Amino acid sequence: MQKYSKQTRLLLAVDCIIFGFDGDTLKILLIKRSFEPQKDNWSLMGGFVQPKESLDQAANRILKQLTELQGVYLEQLHTFGNTKRDPIERTVSVTYFALIDINKYQTQLSKDYHAEWFPLKRVPKLIFDQQEMVEAAKKRIRYKAAMHPILFELLPGKFTLPQLQTLYESVFNTPIDKRNFSKRVLATGLLIKQNDKDKAGSKRGAYYYQLNMQNYYAKFQAFMNFIPNPDSLLH
């Protein structure tokens, strides 16, 4: 097989950043690294791309191998190529991120690599430049969520307005006025009010809502965001 002459070879890796919401807290999925360097430290789901794999195939294989998660939508985020990011060999990493409902995938999660959910506000120290990867993913999600209703991917089939508000406050890391938020959300026509209530938080309870899937897809590109002045919150 022909090869380009006088070229230095390097390793190509993928790292998967999985965000999840359990109805109360926005979290990130981490594993214990199983080999040196930094063995047993907390890490994203990562591994090397094989010669006959595409990047997408590698990301899905690695995610399934390390967590047993499959059928998760992964979106390519950014390429990290600092020459000193890996102390062993020159390694370029392509990152992916996903948004999932934790409760939907909880039973699928493997414990072989000590996969564990951490609240996004209490993430332990990560290996190499992975904290930079997480910050880049958070910024991308804020940017997209300000224009499109993508955060509904994190919610269960039925949810309350307080749960939805908690999710948006967690993503944008800012408090949101309850009355203004509810007014904006209901004005989108994206939600269908249910007859039953969640009474776990109070005697009065909060009505459940479901996403109107027809309106969701119709309005995805023309979304009235829930966040006032979102541009100021994207940094």
Parallel, antiparallel or unpaired: strands 91-101 and 11-21: parallel
Structural domain count, the chain: 2
Query: Does residue 28 carry a pLDDT above 80?
Result: yes
Residues 102 and 194 in one domain: no
Q: Which two tokens stand for residue 116?
A: 């564990």
DSSP run (H or E) holding 165: helix 161-172
Q: Give residues with Cβ within 8 angstroms of 171, minimum separation 6.
A: 26, 138, 141, 142, 145, 151
Query: What is the percentage of the chain residues whose pLDDT exceeds 70?
Result: 91
Query: Does residue 207 carry a pLDDT above 80?
Result: yes
Residue 162's pLDDT is 92
Where residue 79 sits, what CATH number does that domain have? 3.90.79.10
- Between 62 and 185, the more confident residue is 62
Residues 195 and 168 in one domain: yes
Q: Hey, what's the torsion of the CAs at 135, 17, 226, 196, to 10 degrees?
A: -140
* Position 75 in a domain: yes
Residues 129 and 164 in one domain: no
List pLDDT tens digits, range 69-84: 988 889 999 999 999 9
Where residue 228 sits, what CATH number does that domain have? 1.10.10.10
Residues 118 and 65 in one domain: yes
CA 6 to chain centre: 40
Parallel, antiparallel or unpaired: strands 26-32 and 42-43: antiparallel
Residues 45 and 136 in one domain: yes
List pLDDT tens digits, range 31-79: 999 889 999 999 999 999 999 999 999 999 999 999 999 888 899 999 9
Picking from 145, 172, 188, the residue at the C-terminal end of a domain is 145
* Position 6 in a domain: no
List pLDDT tens digits, range 99-114: 999 988 877 787 788 8
Residues 87 and 108 in one domain: yes
User: Does the model's pTM come out above 0.85?
Assistant: yes
- Between 149 and 223, the more confident residue is 149
* Position 150 in a domain: no
Give the span between the Cα atoms of 95 and 27, in whole angstroms: 18
* Position 76 in a domain: yes
Residues 21 and 74 in one domain: yes
Picking from 111, 145, 179, the residue at the C-terminal end of a domain is 145
Whole-Å CA distances, 163 to 26, 47, 51, 73? 11, 34, 44, 22
Picking from 110, 145, 180, the residue at the C-terminal end of a domain is 145
* Position 1 confidence tier, pLDDT thresholds 50, 70, 90: low
Residues 127 and 219 in one domain: no
Residue 235's pLDDT is 47
Residues 90 and 42 in one domain: yes
Residues 213 and 132 in one domain: no
* Position 163 confidence tier, pLDDT thresholds 50, 70, 90: very high
* Position 195 in a domain: yes
* Position 209 in a domain: yes
Residues 41 and 141 in one domain: yes
Query: Does residue 232 carry a pLDDT above 50?
Result: no
Task: Look up the domain containing 207 and give its range.
Answer: 156-233
Residues 72 and 132 in one domain: yes
* Position 3 in a domain: no
* Position 117 in a domain: yes
